Amino acid sequence: MQGPRDGARPRLILGSASPRRRELLAQIGVVPDETTPPDIDERPARGELPRAYVGRIAAQKAQAVEAGPDEIVLCADTTVALGRRILGKPADADEARAFLVALSGRRHTVLTAVALRRGDRVWSRIVEAQVKLKRLSGDEIAGYLATGDWQGKAGAYAIQGPAGAFVPWIRGSYTAIVGLPLAETAQMLAAAGHPVWRTP
Ligand SMILES: Cc1cn([C@H]2C[C@H](O)[C@@H](COP(=O)(O)OP(=O)(O)OP(=O)(O)O)O2)c(=O)[nH]c1=O
């Protein structure tokens, strides 16, 4: 039987500057027709909680990317939540050090919100994962900061890089931690008319 999507798929615009998101999509065979990074103010509002924050930012990114009425825009936002505290991308090495000290030896939550827009229709999901960082020594933190790998990463670490050596335990979606939860994203793309799987 032929599915309704056996014709042409709508154009897909990846609204992201993140090479990780592009690579994760490529992992499931999805290659965007265009990449347009959104430009929005990512500062949390006063007292804003992490879940509300990531959901709002992903939605704003999806609205900020220009697209035709039948094009699909895919955006996401990842943040690290330590209790009610939002740890975004560190501004500099000092802030990165402070984040790593706060996360050392503790469990925290990584939240990735995905927002998909096609014309006026919007699909959104927030996917969580729990991550434990081992207790970090001063040498480990200094060594990791020297790699520069913390730059541009929520919570000042990236599980897929050298900081993988700091992570003894996770629960939940690994790809949500890296920046784009693939199971949920594939489902959302299918809902919006851009299925990952094509009938052979
Ligand atoms: C916790 C963690 C975060 N990250 C990354 C994913 C995100 O790219 C980044 C959080 O920043 P985001 O603002 O979510 O994304 P971005 O600025 O990189 O890209 P854009 O807004 O254009 O889509 O942190 C990892 O790569 N690995 C990790 O383990």
* ipTM summary value: 0.96
Mean pLDDT of the region 157-186 = 98
Task: Find the helix packing angle between 19-27 and 182-191, rounded to 10°.
Answer: 80
Q: What is the pLDDT of residues 69-90, one digit of tens each?
A: 999 999 999 999 999 999 999 9
Question: Is there a contact between 189 and 30 (Cβ–Cβ < 8 Å)?
Answer: yes
pLDDT, residue 4, reads 41
pLDDT, residue 6, reads 46
Å from CA of 154 to ligand 1 middle:
6
Q: Indicate if the pLDDT at residue 2 is higher than 60.
A: no
Q: Is the CB of 177 under 6 A from ligand 1?
A: yes
pLDDT, residue 7, reads 58
**How high is the mean pLDDT of the chain?**
95
Q: Which domains does the chain have, with CATH numbers?
A: 12-191 (3.90.950.10)
Q: How far, in Å, are 10, 25, 32, 57, 83 from residue 200 at the CA level?
A: 19, 20, 21, 37, 46
Of these residues, 39, 41, 70, 77, which one is catalytic?
A: 77
Å from CA of 1 to ligand 1 middle:
40
Q: How far, in Å, are 17, 52, 99 from residue 86 at the CA level?
A: 21, 11, 10
| Nearest residue (CA) to ligand 1, atom 20 | 16
| Nearest residue (CA) to ligand 1, atom 27 | 158
The one-letter amino acid at 83 = G
Q: How far, in Å, are 28, 80, 104 from residue 99 at the CA level?
A: 32, 10, 9
| Nearest residue (CA) to ligand 1, atom 21 | 16
Mean pLDDT of the region 132-136 = 98
| Nearest residue (CA) to ligand 1, atom 23 | 16
Is 92 considered catalytic here?
Answer: no
Question: Is there a contact between 38 and 20 (Cβ–Cβ < 8 Å)?
Answer: no
Mutate to test the pocket of ligand 1, among 153, 169, 180, 182 (most ligand atoms within 8 A of CB): 153
User: In the structure, what pLDDT confidence band is assigned to residue 1 with cuts at 50, 70 and 90?
Assistant: very low
Q: Indicate if the pLDDT at residue 103 is higher than 70.
A: yes
Q: Is the CB of 154 under 6 A from ligand 1?
A: yes
Q: What is the pLDDT of residues 138-162, one digit of tens each?
A: 999 999 999 999 999 999 999 999 9
pLDDT, residue 170, reads 98
